[in-house]
Amino acid sequence: MNLSVQLGKLTLQNPVMVASGTFGYGVEYSQLLDLNQLGAVVVKGIRLGPVRGNSTPRTVEVASGLINAIGLQGPGVDGFIKKYWPFLKELKVPTIINIWGTTVDEYAEVARRFDALGGVGALELNVSCPNIKEGGSQFGTDVKLLSQVVAACRTATTLPLITKMSPNVVSIAPYAKAAEDAGSDALAVTNSYPAMAIDIETRRPKLANITGGLTGPCIKPIAIKLVWEAAQAVKIPIIGMGGIQNAADAIEFMMAGATAVAVGTANFYEPQTALQVIAGVREFMQRKKIQDVRELVGTVEVGD
Amino acid sequence: MLNCQMLEQPVQIISNERDTDLYFRLVVRAPQIAPLVQPGQFAHIRVLPMKDALLRRPFSIYQVANDTFSILYKAVGKGTEMLARMRPGEELSVIAPLGHGFTVPQPGGETPLLVAGGYGMAAMYLLAQRSAQKGIVFVGGRRRVDILCEEEFRALGWDVRVTTEDGTHGEKGLVTQPLIAELKRNTTGRKLFACGPTPMLKAVGKIAEEFSVPAELSMDEHMCCGVGVCLTCVIPIKVGDGWEYQRTCTEGPVFDVRQIAWEVAK
């Protein structure tokens, strides 16, 4: 049975990764699960310098979901390399580094720094964080800017590039195509959905940032549709994510057109989810007598 | 980087009984977790029958006995109300022990003065039990029913001083009043340890500064993952000339009072 998949020149031993921002820098979960069983570890978004993040409250639980506005708190490139890279570089599975910036040049500079580091599996371009005023989703919701960011990073590095798409667009197809044309090796579909919650007793927003990004099982059907639409538009592989809790969810994403998947919010409440998904995909393949996991990709039947 | 050993395990409920009012005591069998627990640490509990509320709930670990540990909780929200309906024999998922706890007073060390508000008492029991010196517990609440496990602390040989805001039990007023009176008598060799609502912690922090006594505070912030990845439960902590957000679940919940940047905190 083959579970391995390709994202550009990057080979994953299985198609199940974890989503950026839901798995810290890997080390935090290393006592609870064997990270080397994963397809890849994807770390929280990093820009050039350290980032303090938003005020609290930063997250709020809603029905079947979570709204977050963390504000990409992080140690910056140097802090990350000093504090977390010594652990990550010893992993047997690839580390994918999620990067962002407030200018096209900053994205490219961060890409260059990680290219020079050596041993990085791929870079994921975060052009879709809804909680950052400058940078983040402004790049993911403007086709021209998106192309510029991807192209600048393409020039800066030979590492595989994954563009993490915003769900907050009228049609994802032109954005997907723009990222592909500018040199992206894969797409991550999707980031969180802009959202808000209000405390009716105090009439105050439940998040200090007022609005945040909605994730968890409640966004899964939206994400499935976006993956399906993006898959029609591009030839590069898609990493599907949004509310995956079990193997059935992951298989649904693959049938919609995802070559790989990422477990996100579920890590917060059940750290074993990604490993359970891998086991469940294997069982499904046995039951359906499927030899290669790639046979599942894009097999939704929409015809008559 | 991480100094605590954590485990994720299914655990069986041994008992789950009403204490006073809306407060409950839950005991679970967790033979591998129980021996690891340090005073001030917490358990992150997933109430499995809850379907649309996804997150685990954090609770201070109250007592440890043989292969069990217990928590004290107030049924005030979705998670705790569902938890209150669960019965012995049913299963919960637990990640524990988590967080950086209290510094336990060693022989010849300081005399501990514990300050607790409501179910903040839960975080204090193991500290009182394992402290080399017995001291005083100041416990406060709104009403009589908010005063928990008073007798358990007396049974450890501690001096327990109760205050209630409505005067239905102990002295009438805030928990900080008898604390101030005690510090006016004597501050030498004494150290404060506190757990309770944020306004109480802030008041205790101010008192510690005024009387120049050391203090450790167990901070209360909303949590999500409990293990340091989501960065939900951060509070401002002084670093060099400035401050940065640190995690209540990992660097805390217990912080030295001098670390906390109150002027930034809400």
| pLDDT above 50 (res B157) | yes
* B211 token code pair: 């009387």
The percent of residues above 90 in pLDDT, for chain B, comes to 91
- Residue B121 and residue B30 share a domain: no
Q: Which whole-number Å values give the CA distances from B66 to A225, B35, B90, B124, B254, in the listed order?
A: 52, 8, 20, 19, 25
| pLDDT above 70 (res B3) | no
Give residue A129's pLDDT: 74
- Residue B60 and residue B30 share a domain: yes
The domain spanning residue B28 has which CATH number?
2.40.30.10
Residue located via tokens 């509320």: B53
Q: Which whole-number Å values give the CA distances from A295 to A2, A3, A139, in the listed order?
A: 10, 10, 34
DSSP string for residues in B159-176: EEEEEETTSSSSEES-TH
Q: Is residue A204 part of a domain?
A: yes
Give residue B52's pLDDT: 87
Give residue A134's pLDDT: 66
Residues lower than pLDDT 50 in chain A: none
- Residue B120 and residue B78 share a domain: no
pTM of the model: 0.95
Is B95 an 8 Å CB contact of chain A? yes
The residue type found at B176 is T
Q: Is residue A302 part of a domain?
A: no
- Residue B171 and residue B90 share a domain: no
The domain spanning residue B117 has which CATH number?
3.40.50.80
Using CB atoms, pick whichever of A44, A58, A265 lies closest to residue B232. Answer: A58
Query: Which residue of chain B is at minimal alpha-carbon distance from A53?
Result: B245
Q: For residue B115, what pLDDT band results from cuts at 50, 70 and 90?
A: very high
Contact A56, B236 (CB under 8 A): no
Q: Is residue A97 part of a domain?
A: yes
Query: Which residue of chain A is at minimal alpha-carbon distance from B235?
Result: A56
Mean pLDDT for all residues in chain B: 94
Q: Is residue B2 part of a domain?
A: no
Q: For residue B12, what pLDDT band results from cuts at 50, 70 and 90?
A: very high
Last residue of some domain: B175, B194, B218? Answer: B218
Last residue of some domain: B68, B98, B128? Answer: B98
- Residue B125 and residue B50 share a domain: no
Query: Domain tally for chain B?
Result: 2
Are the beta carbons of A65 and B56 separated by less than 8 Å? no
The percent of residues above 70 in pLDDT, for chain B, comes to 98
E runs forming strands in chain B: 7-18, 23-29, 42-46, 57-60, 64-65, 68-74, 91-98, 111-117, 136-141, 159-164, 171-172, 190-195, 215-218, 234-239, 242-247, 254-256
Which stretch of DSSP H or E encloses residue B145? none
Are the beta carbons of B5 and A31 separated by less than 8 Å? yes
Give CA–CA dist B114/B129, Å, rounded.
12
Contact B139, B163 (CB under 8 A): yes
Are the beta carbons of B230 and A68 separated by less than 8 Å? yes
Q: Is residue A301 part of a domain?
A: no
Residue located via tokens 């005991």: B27
Q: What's the DSSP call for residue B58? A: E
B27 forms beta bridges with B15, B70
* A128 token code pair: 């879709």
Are the beta carbons of A28 and B235 separated by less than 8 Å? no
- Which residues are within 8 A (CB) of B151 and not within 5 positions of it... i.e. 6 or more apart? none
Q: Is residue A109 part of a domain?
A: yes
Q: Is residue A32 part of a domain?
A: yes
CA neighbor of A35 nearest in space, from A85, A71, A88:
A88
Shortest CA gap A289–chain B (Å): 32
Give CA–CA dist A297/B105, Å, rounded.
60
Give CA–CA dist B233/B253, Å, rounded.
9
What is the tens place of the pLDDT at every residue in A172-222?
999 999 999 999 999 999 999 999 999 999 999 999 999 999 999 999 999
Q: Is residue B242 part of a domain?
A: no
Q: Which chain A residues have a beta carbon less than 8 Å from that of B53?
A: 61, 63
Shortest CA gap B136–chain A (Å): 34
> Strands across the sheet with B136-141, in order?
B171-172, B159-164, B136-141, B111-117, B190-195, B215-218, B254-256
- Residue B87 and residue B168 share a domain: no
Contact A72, A53 (CB under 8 A): yes
- Residue B121 and residue B65 share a domain: no
Q: Is the peptide bond before B107 cis (omega within 30 degrees of 0)?
A: no
Residues of A with CB under 8 A from a CB of B: 21-24, 27-29, 31-32, 44, 52-53, 55-59, 61, 63-66, 68, 70, 73, 83, 87, 216-217, 265-272
- Residue B190 and residue B145 share a domain: yes
Q: Is the peptide bond before A271 cis (omega within 30 degrees of 0)?
A: no
A76 forms beta bridges with none
Mutate one of A42, A43, A269, A276 to test the B interface: name it (highest B CB count within 10 A).
Answer: A269
Q: Is residue B253 part of a domain?
A: no
Between residues B4 and A179, the one the model is more confident about = A179
Q: Is residue B161 part of a domain?
A: yes
| Three-state secondary-structure class, residue B223 | coil
Are the beta carbons of B93 and A270 separated by less than 8 Å? yes
Q: Is residue A168 part of a domain?
A: yes
| pLDDT above 90 (res B2) | no
Domain span holding position A247: 5-296
| pLDDT above 70 (res B1) | no
Strands A211-215 and B215-218 come out as unpaired
* A34 token code pair: 């064997």
Give CA–CA dist B183/B181, Å, rounded.
6
Q: Is residue A304 part of a domain?
A: no
Strands B42-46 and B91-98 come out as antiparallel
Q: Is residue B209 part of a domain?
A: yes
| Residues of A annotated catalytic, as ranges | 129
Mutate one of A59, A64, A131 to test the B interface: name it (highest B CB count within 10 A).
Answer: A59
The domain spanning residue A108 has which CATH number?
3.20.20.70
Q: Is residue B44 part of a domain?
A: yes
CA neighbor of A141 nearest in space, from A98, A194, A97, A184:
A194
What is the tens place of the pLDDT at every residue in B27-50?
999 999 999 999 999 999 999 988
CA neighbor of B111 nearest in space, from B172, B162, B183, B9:
B183
The residue type found at A36 is N
Using CB atoms, pick whichever of A31, A44, A61 lies closest to residue B53. Answer: A61
Q: Which chain B residues have a beta carbon less than 8 Å from that of A270?
A: 46, 93
Query: Domain tally for chain A?
Result: 1
Is B55 an 8 Å CB contact of chain A? yes
Q: Which chain B residues have a beta carbon less than 8 Å from that of A52?
A: 244-245
Shortest CA gap B99–chain A (Å): 12
Is B3 an 8 Å CB contact of chain A? no
Give CA–CA dist A265/A244, Å, rounded.
8
What is the tens place of the pLDDT at every residue in B197-208?
999 999 999 999
> Strands across the sheet with B68-74, in order?
B57-60, B42-46, B91-98, B7-18, B23-29, B68-74, B64-65
Last residue of some domain: B98, B132, B150? Answer: B98
Strands A95-99 and A65-68 come out as unpaired
Give residue B265's pLDDT: 66
Give residue A138's pLDDT: 79
Domain span holding position B25: 7-98
- Which residues are within 8 A (CB) of A142 and not within 5 positions of it... i.e. 6 or more apart? none
- Residue B213 and residue B144 share a domain: yes
Give CA–CA dist A245/A218, Å, rounded.
11
